[in-house]
Structure 1
Amino acid sequence: MAYLLVVEDEPAIADLIAMNLKLVGHETLLIGDGNEVMNAVLNRTPDLIILDVMLPNKDGFALMQEISPLGIPVIFLTAKSQLDDKIAGLRAGADDYMVKPFAIIELVTRVETVLKRYREYSNIFRLDGLEVRMDEHKVLLDGEEVELTVKEFALLEILIANQNLALSREKLLALVWGADFLGETRTIDVHIQKLRKKLCLEKRIRTVYKVGYRLEVTP
């Protein structure tokens, strides 16, 4: 599942895109005004942005200048079909450029292609002030490195990989310590408390009554 920002000022098109992205498991936020885009991006970093060019107040090309330094993948989806426009969009840093009218299945496919490419080359998870660099086994909180034990990091990885899903203590224990571990599920509770405290995740790692825990990344 990915979190996508759909910047489109025609409600019918925006709803169509959101509906189909939801069907394949993605979460979306719809925005129809160019002035609202950057506040939404800074409030919660999207995995990808579908961006119209012709928007009220601030157009997509101007927004791209602000988005590009953030390293967020962008697909332009616009009625501007001239070659010069397409070249301008790609040179501005967009990953793809689609022209309206479009086939929804093609858009969904292109979204999956771009997301896959970024996941292969960028294995970094960000949430609030937290940054987890999976390949480096490094965790930063507000820019400062936080030391985690091997088990704490492994537990955090599992929660991230299953974000927004409830995982039982038994499942977490088996994934982190191995199926043959003879310890008690209380071990999970202790490590969860340490992660919450070290990474300021008290409001993000939720206790699911009679089940276990869930890393909540939705607003």
Structure 2
Amino acid sequence: MNKRILIIEDEPDIARILKYAFAKENFLVRCEECGMSGIEAVKNFMPDVVLLDVMLPDISGFEVCKNLMKYKIPILMLTARNDIVDKILGLELGADDYITKPFDIREVITRVNVALRRIERIINKEEESEKIIIGDIIIIKKSREVYKNNELIKLKPKEYDLLLYMSENKNRVLSRDQILIKVWNYDFEGDWRTIDVHIRRLRQKLHCEELIETVFGIGYILKG
């Protein structure tokens, strides 16, 4: 899918050059010449990256940058000034990069692509941290979903909680008392048979008898 770039630049010639260059790179491009219209454009255009001029006719690019931080998209600031103080301020406000005019359009394209790759790596890393993979079983913590061979397995809330707890402690022997405390909490008034029933259901639903082993006289261990 084509990446979206929002260019907030009040100089028509520069905006036109940037628009042409990024359209040629298969970006979907939107240009705004004012800071406030740029802020509004982010809400409905939903860009993947923003090129932001520092000197705008209504509000400064620094104010725009500060406002756009909540959207967590990469921002590259453009300026005709080569003042180190301006660069530091922009970066401290959350800008990903700072490009001084006049610039080589090839460098701008490269820096935009680098910023996009960096944010994609961060997103991928965050998504991976939300997953637990054990063989052909994938547990997605954010949505509380479990897949086996890419097929969604419907688990009841406590079945999911039990599987999650055991998967986060895989290859460790967990006593029934530990499981009761962590999964059902201290106030649970049941007995060990409840755990055994839920373990049996997990084995059946996941079609994997060997995944959760019984440790006689103690509890269970999830092998992974």
Distance 1:44 1:103 in 2: 26
Deviation of 1:44 after TM superposition, in Å, equals 2.9
Contact 1:68 1:93 in 2 (8 A): yes
Deviation of 1:113 after TM superposition, in Å, equals 0.6
Aligned residues: 140
Deviation of 1:12 after TM superposition, in Å, equals 1.0
Q: Alpha carbon RMSD of aligned pairs, Å?
A: 2.4
Distance 1:94 1:33 in 2: 18
- Aligned equivalent of 1:122: 123
- Aligned equivalent of 2:69: 68
The letter for the 2-side match of 1:55 is L
- Aligned equivalent of 1:30: 31
Unaligned ranges ≥5, structure 1: 125-132, 153-219
Distance 1:12 1:139 in 2: 49
Q: TM-score, normalised by structure 2?
A: 0.56
- Structure label with greater radius of gyration: 2
Question: Relative to structure 1, is the Cα distance of residues 60 and 139 closer, same or farther in structure 2, using a 3 angstrom cutoff?
Answer: farther
Distance 1:77 1:114 in 2: 14
- Aligned equivalent of 1:41: 42
Distance 2:151 2:30 in 1: 35
Question: Relative to structure 1, is the Cα distance of residues 56 and 148 closer, same or farther in structure 2, using a 3 angstrom cutoff?
Answer: farther
Q: Give the secondary structure class of the aligned counterpart of 2:82.
A: coil
Contact 1:53 1:80 in 2 (8 A): no
Distance 1:59 1:53 in 2: 6
Question: Relative to structure 1, is the Cα distance of residues 123 and 45 closer, same or farther in structure 2, using a 3 angstrom cutoff?
Answer: farther
The letter for the 2-side match of 1:83 is I
Listed one character per residue, the Cα deviations across residues 160-189 of structure 1 (whole Å, up to 9, x for unaligned) are: xxxxxxxxxxxxxxxxxxxxxxxxxxxxxx
Deviation of 1:119 after TM superposition, in Å, equals 0.8
Q: Give the secondary structure class of the aligned counterpart of 1:49.
A: strand
Which residues in structure 2 correspond to 1:1-219 (within 5 Å)?
A: 1-123=2-124, 135=128, 136=130, 150=150
| Paired-residue identity, % | 35
Question: Relative to structure 1, is the Cα distance of residues 146 and 20 closer, same or farther in structure 2, using a 3 angstrom cutoff?
Answer: farther
Q: Give the secondary structure class of the aligned counterpart of 2:10.
A: coil
Q: Give the secondary structure class of the aligned counterpart of 2:56.
A: coil
Question: Relative to structure 1, is the Cα distance of residues 58 and 146 closer, same or farther in structure 2, using a 3 angstrom cutoff?
Answer: farther
Distance 1:80 1:31 in 2: 21
Contact 1:139 1:146 in 2 (8 A): yes
Distance 2:144 2:19 in 1: 37
Q: List, as ranges, runs of 4+ consecutive aligned residues in structure 1 with deviation greater than 2 Å.
A: 133-140, 145-152
Q: Give the secondary structure class of the aligned counterpart of 2:102.
A: coil
Distance 2:102 2:53 in 1: 12
- Aligned equivalent of 1:174: none
Q: Give the secondary structure class of the aligned counterpart of 1:122.
A: helix
Deviation of 1:25 after TM superposition, in Å, equals 1.5
Distance 1:80 1:27 in 2: 28
Deviation of 1:69 after TM superposition, in Å, equals 2.4
Unaligned ranges ≥5, structure 2: 132-139, 153-224
Deviation of 1:70 after TM superposition, in Å, equals 1.9
Deviation of 1:80 after TM superposition, in Å, equals 2.1
